[in-house]
């Protein structure tokens, strides 16, 4: 089968389109014929080697973290799905590879595709939808009446997180450019800060939750807009000791991550806040809950562009510019 392959960790290196064997199907697996996949900043960071210590893959391996397609084979122990089911997923770490014609995934990572979405729309959802869910629902416990600051509201995670936070009953502030202000307001943002001319720290205060997706300087500023008891969930680092425990990392890496996050954890504790690093995980049950919200019209996908499969490298270069509104998708079939 055709697939886009990472041959070695290298910054900005193009993926190689080549032939790889069709995936083996284990007893708990479904084999999915890929119709569409979407791209994420995580794909670029993985290729660049930024996560090779904590999420080790041995090159060459197939890239891609989001998929929508049709099941064409099921393992002997699969109970929830049948051949012909239209599904979508974010495969678990260690089993990625959605930039390909086929992928095998554990059934617990998979959910039925929302009936009201196309394959391309569905493929845009899993990673960013699960990131928003795990950050706002699981880590932050966001509740009705609370205030949440979601950075980069017109990005992939931001467009979904705003809609989820609105459903949860929160008041939402976000950052974006003036050109994207109407978009984020249409998704549910109450306060829009133009990051090109205003400093959010001077505009916002007394927040319960921050979803940080930017650099360490922005994270430190974000702590200062939280009220005591607030929580900062960061999807851009630094990783913390809890993440090291979850991943079962070796003692040396645990020490490294403890030191990397020591400063921000210390500042958070001093201010009476909680800091939590999130590296989202595939979860079919949570994705099914997101499906229900999509089919109810509460969450809708936001897609910037759709590229043909053969132009996956061009699509990756496009998202690396950092100006996409919502998600960028590749049409595989």
Separation CA 146–CA 165 (nearest Å): 10
Any idea how long the chain is? 333
Region 224-249: mean pLDDT is: 94
User: Cis (ω within 30 of 0) for the bond into 56?
Assistant: no
**Distance in angstroms (rounded) separating the CA atoms of residues 39 and 18:** 19
Task: Identify whether 231 is part of a domain.
Answer: yes
- Mean pLDDT across 97-126: 98
| Percent over 90 (pLDDT), the chain | 95
Handedness of CA 285, 286, 289, 291 (dihedral sign): negative
| CATH number of the domain enclosing 14 | 3.90.180.10
Residue 184 and residue 243 in one domain: yes
Same domain membership, residue 216 and residue 116? no
Token pair, residue 271, equals 């201010």
Residues 138 and 117 in one domain: no
Do 239 and 261 fall within a single domain?
yes
Please report the pLDDT score of residue 51 as a whole number: 87
Same domain membership, residue 159 and residue 255: yes
In this structure, is residue 292 part of a structural domain?
no
Q: CA–CA distance from 39 to each of 64, 162, 252 (Å)?
A: 7, 20, 32
pLDDT mean over 200-209 = 97
Residue 97 has pLDDT above 90, yes or no: yes
Write the burial class of residue 19 (CB in 10 Å: 0-12 exposed, 13-18 middle, 19+ buried). exposed
Over range 289-299, report the average pLDDT. 98
Task: Report whether pLDDT(58) > 90.
Answer: yes
Q: How confident is the model at residue 89 (pLDDT cuts 50, 70, 90)?
A: very high
Do 8 and 115 fall within a single domain?
yes
Q: In this structure, is residue 288 part of a structural domain?
A: no
Per the domain annotation, does 310 fall within a domain? yes
Domain range for 248 = 128-277
Q: Is residue 293 part of a domain?
A: no
């Amino acid at each position: 089968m055709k697939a886009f392959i990472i041959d070695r960790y290298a910054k900005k290196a193009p993926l190689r389109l080549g032939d790889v064997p069709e995936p083996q199907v284990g007893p708990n697996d479904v084999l999915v014929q890929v119709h569409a996949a979407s791209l994420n900043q995580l794909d670029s960071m993985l290729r660049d080697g930024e996560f090779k210590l904590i999420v080790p893959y041995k090159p060459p391996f197939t890239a891609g973290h989001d998929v929508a397609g049709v099941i064409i084979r099921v393992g002997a122990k699969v109970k929830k799905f049948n051949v012909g089911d239209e599904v979508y997923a974010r495969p678990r770490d260690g089993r990625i590879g959605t930039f390909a014609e086929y992928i095998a995934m554990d059934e617990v990572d998979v959910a039925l595709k929302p009936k009201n979405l196309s394959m391309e729309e569905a493929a845009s959802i899993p990673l960013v939808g699960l990131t928003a869910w795990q950050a706002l629902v699981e880590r932050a416990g966001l509740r009705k009446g609370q205030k949440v600051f979601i950075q980069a509201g017109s990005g992939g995670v931001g467009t979904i997180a705003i809609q989820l936070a609105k459903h949860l009953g929160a008041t939402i502030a976000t950052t974006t450019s003036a050109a994207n202000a109407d978009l984020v307001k249409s998704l549910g943002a109450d306060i829009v800060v133009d990051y090109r001319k205003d400093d959010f720290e001077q505009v916002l205060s007394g927040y319960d939750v921050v979803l940080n997706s930017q650099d360490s300087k922005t994270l430190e500023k974000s702590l200062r807009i939280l009220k005591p008891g607030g929580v900062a969930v960061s999807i851009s680092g630094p990783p913390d000791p809890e993440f090291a425990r979850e991943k079962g990392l070796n003692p040396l890496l645990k020490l490294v991550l403890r030191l990397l996050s020591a400063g921000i954890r210390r500042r958070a504790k001093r201010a009476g806040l909680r800091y939590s690093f999130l590296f989202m995980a595939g979860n079919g049950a949570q994705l099914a809950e997101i499906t229900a919200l999509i089919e109810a019209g509460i969450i809708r996908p936001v897609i910037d562009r759709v590229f043909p499969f053969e132009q996956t490298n061009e699509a990756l270069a496009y998202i690396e510019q950092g100006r996409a509104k919502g998600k960028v998708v590749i049409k595989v079939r």
